[in-house]
Chain A
């Protein structure tokens, strides 16, 4: 672990009734990083963060958060962590303002400011049961941010939010990033991970498949491009261009698949041949496409990499 390490996990294993959910998982998160744990349902994301919070006892491995053991030092550690849990609730009749007062450990915990920032100030007197799904998520975020936590764990943060509310929450996470707060973001929304995370850890069936910045993952697992355009002339020269893997033609539309360099190569091929087709389109993979490619290739890679590339 680096000196500024906030999370250090080595060889984490957790099984429920013989079903292994997390297997030999390593994870490092450095101070000030926003790290995304991504993977499909059942990938072991939530179990991993529950172990970090001391809510689950690991079967094997070492877990340290802010230098403390989440099991042994739970009472010391929990006030330093702000957490938004995937499936949790508050008492139905508890009002928003009361929840903030109940969860704030010290006076002046920025409760009012946070309620304002997340648009909940007008709902201060509303009962939890009367809040919409989005309002509940925003309230959980407010509660997670009370008392300036050193690590914020956000599990499926924007689940059930409409696009506007999701943007609002993303802005809040970016604000956290600017203030240097360390954030561990658990999500299966890849657009969210791409938008918010400095680094992404990809899990499948409890193992780390790969880790890196979103751009690195796209470069590693989605380094291809597709160029499409209408063309009535011959396409013989296209297949010989560097980086081209496949050229197809259908209903007058030519599709060129290949490495990213085909974008420039096809452009250079088109220019001397007259007017550039007006419907010229280029498709490059985003994080989602890259990760689908990674998951397709996963059996060969499982366990091959570890999430220890923390920024120091």
Chain B
């Protein structure tokens, strides 16, 4: 295979990826809870590692929202009222208006006891 052909293929692939990529900013809605403990975390602080970072605090139903987030992959820092901190990731899709991002500590925290694995 010659170089020009390979270059053409790569350019076509790049164009395809660019054309199909998400382009619309999205909202994020989620709740912070732990399904293993049946516990909600009102007052938890959720930090979305955009530049600059966006911070939301959970309401009494442990709900949080972010507005007009560009599609992409973000780290999410979660700080509970008791100062515990957690980190996970979030993919914001531009193909749907609202990305649902429930932060379940039962998922974020790796299992460490035998009634969890």
Instruction: Please determine whether chains A and B interact with each other in the same assembly.
Output: no
